[in-house]
Structure 1
């Protein structure tokens, strides 16, 4: 039983790392910086595969009330903000720097819960959140290739991620499973991004993209959509087979693997202070995972 759990976790790690590397390759190496089209393609394929999997009985997606779908729309809106801003940020920032800012979404999560529910924050979690916040604040100051646009989009991304996590955790509904929530996210994303493709200029910009007919581009886009879908299935499988705190461990390990391997795949310019920001961000995340596991034991 433990061996099967480790296999599921390792599969999740593999899909997580390869998915981020594929997205980074399309966005930064090939420079396809048209997120309405790129994310619209990914969510369209993800939604289509999820629907086909449900029809074939491979996953459990039963009918759900329209009222439940409508009540989930704020979460879908945050999801679109998450993937759109995340795509913009990932195209401009190295993967280790992106994760350092992404981890700071926990600060948004804690702040919202503190303001809305007056939750008491344990001292270890407070320490971990402080490390995450300080790492994210100091990173732009020491980044040798500072890109203000990249950090602006990363800020929007981490806010959407933190708010989405709060909404998902505290949205009480017996009608929607995790896969059904994601299916609604996909449908809403495809519609919204399709309407936004023309006003943002992405539609006409993509027509002039130099690698539009390149096999590398088409292969990267197809791989990114398929990997995103398999990552979703691996994530749901992991959550269904492990306690939440153990899932946090595998997510943490996935980010560490991606951070360590990314300099071998992509050109990254790092100095000592920016390396310390990345390092202490991972330390803060490790403390956060440990604090949540100890609180569950108690």
Structure 2
């Protein structure tokens, strides 16, 4: 399901998740990994890194484009993205490009609670993105990392190092600066400051709910994944397939399907471009899952972690370039601090992973490409 759809940070997710079918994208152990063939197009590390960054930016920008203006059919948007995702991976499976297990009602029952958590995550994420600018949304998404990390401490025996704690402090600081810059700009530049600030406050509330939903989804999926042993595309398939009927019910029960509202959501002048953006954002969830696994396969988990941290900057900048996000000293400072916090967090996790395994957080063990893609959703 297109994350936020579906959907992603450091400890993040992605509607897709954990290991590809029989044709896995496992990153072999360092000792067993053979060096990339010279001149091999598929093993060139630059290509997967750029592909991963590009797909992350594309998803965020396309979602923001659709959600801008008067669009209010969020459940319908998510339903379209899920349908596109299921059709795409089914075509890829039929073509022999990927594999995943066939549908099983027993496995669907076990996984359905996770799908509900995912729907809550992507819906609240879409609402937050509707009210907030891309840079602010990206910065606040970092707070989810803190919730997940302490959830790991409480329920999985995890640990938080001093350097990790320092990165958390930077994340909180960047969020405070971003909120202050947003409110300051709204008060100084708008004739209707009260309405503008009210809109921002609604965005912050949705963002808070999204952080709670996202951390619940990630922690809940970590437990459930052990029961099903799902691989990357297994998870993507079940998440999107199971979400479609739920989203259809919610869109018709909760959202306004009057002709007036439909015309407002899909104005004739922009109708084609809106539909194109909705479909492209659905495809992006597939691209992110594949390119994240590809990135780890031809580089390393360490490189992937750094790419994820560095990817924050172009995503935030895309909001300044493609939309009317305010470019002020406080807003730029918030982006920089948020970017640095991501780098510090990545370095902290790399150092923690390098320590002896005894007593270390389970997720600190060497991870496969598929496990890395599990942490992706928040990156967008």
Residue aligning to 2:81: 42
Aligned pairs, how many?
Answer: 297
User: Does residue 263 of structure 2 align to residue 208 of structure 1?
Assistant: yes
Residue aligning to 1:55: 94
**Which structure is larger by alpha-carbon Rg, 1 or 2?**
2
Residue 349 (structure 2) aligned to one of 288, 292, 298: 292
CA RMSD of aligned residues (A): 2.4
Separation in 2, partners of 1:258, 1:127: 23
Residues 98-177 of structure 1 correspond to what in structure 2 (within 5 A)?
Answer: 98-143=137-182, 144-145=185-186, 146=197, 147-170=200-223, 171-173=225-227, 175-177=229-231
Matched-pair contact (CA < 8 Å) for 2:61–2:318: no
* Deviation of 1:93 (Å): 0.9
Per-residue CA distance 1:187-222 (angstroms, 9 max, x = gap):
122111111012222433752326344322222223
Residue aligning to 2:304: 247
Matched-pair contact (CA < 8 Å) for 2:309–2:343: yes
* Deviation of 1:287 (Å): 0.6
Matched-pair contact (CA < 8 Å) for 1:36–1:202: no
Per-residue CA distance 1:237-294 (angstroms, 9 max, x = gap):
3344454343222222222112123312211124433433332222111111111112
Per-residue CA distance 1:120-166 (angstroms, 9 max, x = gap):
21111111122212332453344233411111111122222223233
Distance 1:181 1:9, change over 3 A: same
Q: Unaligned 5+ residue runs, structure 1?
A: none
Separation in 1, partners of 2:136, 2:266: 27
Residue aligning to 1:217: 274
Q: TM-score, normalised by structure 1?
A: 0.89
Q: Unaligned 5+ residue runs, structure 2?
A: 1-35, 38-42, 187-196, 356-380
Residue aligning to 1:183: 237
**The residue matched to 1:4 in structure 2 has which SS?**
coil
Distance 1:210 1:191, change over 3 A: closer
Judging by fraction of residues, say which structure has more helix.
1
User: Does residue 61 of structure 2 align to residue 21 of structure 1?
Assistant: yes
* Deviation of 1:117 (Å): 3.2
Separation in 1, partners of 2:298, 2:79: 30
Separation in 2, partners of 1:81, 1:223: 22
User: Does residue 335 of structure 2 align to residue 282 of structure 1?
Assistant: no
Per-residue CA distance 1:76-114 (angstroms, 9 max, x = gap):
222111211111111111111000111111011012122
Matched-pair contact (CA < 8 Å) for 1:179–1:236: no
Matched-pair contact (CA < 8 Å) for 1:65–1:175: no
**The residue matched to 1:63 in structure 2 has which SS?**
coil
Matched-pair contact (CA < 8 Å) for 1:178–1:236: no
Distance 1:126 1:9, change over 3 A: same
Separation in 2, partners of 1:175, 1:118: 21
Distance 1:155 1:73, change over 3 A: same
* Deviation of 1:64 (Å): 6.4
Matched-pair contact (CA < 8 Å) for 2:79–2:247: yes
